[in-house]
Amino acid sequence: MSNNLTDLTVAEIRDGFRGGDFSAREVAEAFNANVAGAKALNAFIVETPEKALEAADAADKAKAAGEALGALAGVPIGMKDLFCTEGVQTTAASHMLEGFTPTYESTVSGKLWAAGAGMLGKLNLDQFAMGSSNETSYYGNVISPWRRGGGDNAALAPGGSSGGSSSAIAARLCPAATGTDTGGSIRQPAAFTGISGIKPTYGRCSRWGIVAFASSLDQAGPMARTVRDNAILLETMSGFDPRDSTSLDLAVPQWEANLTSDLKGKKVGIPKEYRPDGLNAEIAALWDRGIEWLKDAGAEVVEVSLPHTKYALPTYYIIAPAEASSNLARYDGVRYGQRDLPDGAGLQDMYAATRALGFGPEVKRRIMIGTYVLSAGFYDAYYTQAQKVRALIARDFEQAFEKCDLLLTPTAPSASFALGEKQADPLAMYLNDVFTVPASLAGLPAMAVPGGLDSQGLPLGLQIIGKALDEQTVLNAGLAIEERAGFNARPDKWW
């Protein structure tokens, strides 16, 4: 058993620890060793093996003393470096926040630690969560543990922005991790690496203490190898927080206890606009298999229409940069982070020099687009128009959900691509989020689950989108797919 502790799921670690099969310390040591041996993946910005051991020892001690154990006692996890962690550097993968050591803990990470989870380290990501391939991090690219078959050793993208999380989970460096999702940053990396991840309904998880990107879209969520593990983590991460004005004041459902793959009586909508001409044939075929799996689980399948789907990406690329330009105005070289003060510079020069130094090219690009679309004379034509189209996109979903209970779509338009392949053209990169952005704009819960491998041996994912607050149906459909897909492929260790 002790040889393969790092192959266990969160549920297996939790239950095995409670049942006395192994100690929490043994688990933490096994994952710490995997983290230390995987520098080639560059999944972590900061490793915190001592934090993992500290939580494990506390769990072992509590168990020995017969004390009540937290829901995640004995489980070590990875923390995306977008969550502020007290006393541990938090960078958002930027130079701007290099050396920033929060004096407070984000609500979501605090809930996880309070439940007994231990921190293996801070996971790499796209800078300020802006990217779809983890190539915008100041701390270097994260490499996917997956490689194409046939001896092709090209370094592949783990997806983004939660690329450190997806790479680390797929490589067994952690059994689960946190992610955040603004336009697909949990789901697309999960699909690229053959794992699962869920973005809950907007407002389920507190945004307090998460470095802000686009506040009307940002949502935290878990990533793990099984649907059950996602349910377990999401229960701990969710809940009302008075410190986040958009937090939903609702009880957290018992998603794990209510998991079932029986979908009798459920209607699955298949949105026809998600099958454009030229959709990758292997992805279309996987989608068809997914439809059969859900039918097999007892669901009825209906075709639905989301007519404004094609406008979702351009809407997103107005709203997200607009909000980012406002949120990132706080990085001024005064209160935290880097400061660049050229000789003789005044305050305004210091701001501009600091921001030129601290932000990477993609972050600058988005701040400038956001500034432009919010500037006098253009605000209505761009920003107000985008907010109106966003309302139409949300209405499309409302109307579709009059005919069905959930939607099934592909997660991404392609499998993972090689690093560098899409770097030259920002637009080509943006198009990777075509299937994930609409649910983000509508604030709906959405999950990625692995469905199979393509002909190159790379994972492909399916996406389930649910009604607002109906994470349970999303998780249940995810479980139905998981049971039928039987996805157990894993990358061969080369790192």
Strand-pair partners of 460: 452
- Residue 345 binding another protein, by CB under 8 A: yes
Candidate list 137, 166, 167, 185, residue with the active-site label:
185
Confirm or reject binding of residue 427 to another protein (CB under 8 A): yes
- Quote the least distance from Cβ 426 to another protein, whole Å: 7
CB 181 within 8 A of CB 216: no
* 308 belongs to the binding site for another protein (CB under 8 A): yes
Which residues between 437 and 456 bind another protein (CB under 8 A)? 441-443
Compute the distance between CA of residue 85 and CA of residue 443 in angstroms, rounded to an integer.
26
What phi, psi does 317 have (nearest 5°)? -80, 10
Which of 359, 401, 417, 435 binds another protein (CB under 8 A)? It is 359
Question: What value, to the nearest 5°, has the Cα angle with vertex 446 and ends 440 and 450?
Answer: 125
Q: Which is nearer to another protein, 166 or 180 (CB)?
A: 180
Q: Report the residue from 237, 299, 369, 464 that binds another protein according to the rule CB under 8 A.
A: 369
The residue range among 134-142, 148-156, 229-237, 240-248 that interacts with another protein, by the rule CB under 8 A, is 240-248
Which residue of the set 23, 106, 161, 325 is catalytic? 161
Indicate which single residue of 25, 199, 390, 422 sits in contact with another protein (rule: CB under 8 A). Answer: 390
Beta-bridge partners for 224:
176, 196
Minimal distance in Å, beta carbon 314 to another protein?
Answer: 4
Helical spans, DSSP H, in 143-280: 163-170, 187-193, 227-237
Q: With binding defined as CB under 8 A, does residue 325 bind another protein?
A: yes
80 is catalytic: yes
Residue with tokens 């983290």: 35
Does the active-site annotation cover 185? yes
How far is 429 from 71, CA to CA, in rounded Å?
39
Contact stretch for another protein (CB under 8 A) within 23-31, 161-169, 199-207, 269-277: 199-207
Closer residue to another protein in complex, CB, 280/385: 385
Closest by CA to 433, choosing from 224, 140, 199, is 199
429 near another protein (CB under 8 A)? no
Checking DSSP bridges between strand 44-47 and strand 118-123, what pairing results, if any? Answer: antiparallel
Closest distance of CB 423 from another protein, Å: 13
Instruction: Identify the burial level of 344 via C-beta atoms within 10 angstroms of its C-beta, where 0-12 means exposed, 13-18 middle and 19 or more buried.
Output: exposed
Q: Is 59:69 a contact under the CB 8 Å cutoff?
A: yes
249 makes contact with another protein (CB under 8 A)? yes
In the numeric block, the tokens 């995987």 are attached to: 38
Decide: is 386 part of the binding site for another protein (CB under 8 A).
yes
Asked if 413 is part of the footprint of another protein (rule: CB under 8 A), the reply reads no
Least distance to another protein, CB of residue 440, Å: 9
Q: Which stretch binds another protein (CB under 8 A): 183-191, 227-235, 268-276, 332-340?
A: 332-340
CB–CB of 10/224 below 8 Å?
yes
Q: Shortest gap between Cβ of 36 and another protein (angstroms)?
A: 28
Catalytic residue flag (residue 161): yes
Which of 246, 305, 456, 473 is close enough to bind another protein by CB under 8 A? 246
82 to 121: interface string for another protein, x by CB under 8 A: -----------------xxxxxx-----------------
Contacts of 459 (CB under 8 A, 6+ apart): 146, 191, 192, 193, 194, 415, 416, 450, 452, 453, 487, 489
String of DSSP letters for 119-142:
EEEEEP-SGGG--SSS---TT---
Least Cβ distance, residue 402 to another protein (angstroms): 17
Distance (Å, rounded) from C-alpha 102 to C-alpha 105? 7
Residue positions annotated with a catalytic role: 80, 161, 185
